[in-house]
Structure 1
Amino acid sequence: MDESQKEQAGAGEGDLCLLTIGEHESWLVQGRQEPLRLAMGYRALVPGQTLGQFHREPPSPLELEQAIAWVEDIVMPLATDLAPCSALRLTPSLLTPLFGPVTLPLARIEQSFAQLAAMAERDPLAARDLPAGREFAATLLILREFMHHLGFIEVSLLAAQP
């Protein structure tokens, strides 16, 4: 996590949360608190393994389920430790090219995840709106589980810095 990301988290209200989904780890900053390191990233869904359970492209239904269980094990303890946040921001990620800098409701993230699940079931129509790639799938899965289990109703995707 770099200094500009820490500044973005601290800007405005103290109860904003900034999530950075990195390759092998992610970071959560709440207001001006120290960043919290999370042992999950779009290339590290299982400790010590590149791309975790995602061996297929798109991931299989079983791979998705295993990844969900693993991410839940990391995210669920935060529900008791994390003070309520008024808003969630996501630093530029693999989701930014698809959605752009925008605020998305949880329902839109869930819709995209349902489309990913349909892709896993080999539904040919599901692939038309989502990019291929295990890394995109992992990023979407992490964000979805984070929002779903920590009660965020929307996420603001931040623009990439020029």
Structure 2
Amino acid sequence: MHNSDFQIELVTHFNQIRHQLTDPGQITVLHLAAELVGIASGSGMGPPETQILALGAQRSAREYFRLTPPGRQEFELAIERVEDEIIRASKLLPLHAKLYSSDQLVRQIALLAGVPDSAFMLLDLETMERCFSRLAAVIQGQPATHEGIPLDNNFAATLLILREFMHHLSFSSICILRGV
């Protein structure tokens, strides 16, 4: 997908989420796709500010992970590279914006973290960090089945991107909407 097509998709996601909210205020929409990550922020009915990051579940898994599950060193390197890319987004984001997504991969993480399935799910940073710790345990040698997470590098990359995004950009939670 070209950046211009992804840009259109990102703005569409933003508008669909904004229209589902009664009083959206300042919102940021995170769109995690296979090859790119999109961020759209805004308030009111005006067009959002957007940024596209050179990340994505499949792209990051392909570029950073050679082993399944990822090895410790390659995971540490992936964390550094994802952090660097995410820090670029910090200039775009307004203070006190609420974070939203309608991505199936983010929903999957919330479900694995123990958030009950519903049309409106709230994954807080602490719960997401516990899920990330389960992935870290698998990388340290714990069986994935013991931790209850998929042995899938796309999942690992998505969780890594979400964790670094929330952690470094100071989002205390992410609201996940269904049906967008």
| TM-score when normalising by structure 1 | 0.85
For residues 74-100 of structure 1, give each alpha carbon's deviation from its aligned partner in whole angstroms, at most 9, with x where no partner exists: 111322442114311122232323514
Tell me if 1:120 matches 2:139: yes
Q: 1:71 aligns with which of 79, 82, 94?
A: 82
Q: Which deviates the most, 55-64 or 134-143?
A: 55-64
1:66/1:126 Cα in 2 relative to 1: closer, same or farther (>3 Å)? Answer: farther
In 2, Cα distance between equivalents of 1:156 and 1:75: 19
* Within-5 A mapping of 1:33-48: 33-45=48-60
Counterpart position of 1:158: 177
For residues 16-56 of structure 1, give each alpha carbon's deviation from its aligned partner in whole angstroms, at most 9, with x where no partner exists: 110001111111011231421111111222xxxx6111111
- Provide the identity percentage: 30
Q: Which deviates the most, 141-150 or 6-15?
A: 6-15
In 2, Cα distance between equivalents of 1:4 and 1:135: 24
In 2, Cα distance between equivalents of 1:155 and 1:58: 26
What stretches of structure 1 of length at least 5 have no aligned partner? none
Q: 1:51 aligns with which of 62, 79, 91?
A: 62
Q: Which deviates the most, 31-40 or 138-147?
A: 31-40
* Within-5 A mapping of 1:72-91: 72-91=83-102
CA contact (8 A) 1:115 1:126 kept: no
Counterpart position of 1:111: 130
Counterpart position of 2:114: none
Q: 1:134 aligns with which of 153, 165, 177?
A: 153
CA contact (8 A) 2:28 2:93 kept: no
Counterpart position of 1:7: 15
Q: Which deviates the most, 148-157 or 24-33?
A: 24-33
SS in 1 for 2:149: coil
What stretches of structure 2 of length at least 5 have no aligned partner? 1-5, 112-116
SS in 1 for 2:64: coil
In 1, Cα distance between equivalents of 2:70 and 2:138: 8
SS in 2 for 1:23: coil
SS in 1 for 2:59: coil
Aligned AA for 1:38? L
Question: In the TM superposition, what is the alpha-carbon distance from 1:116 to its structure 2 partner?
Answer: 0.4
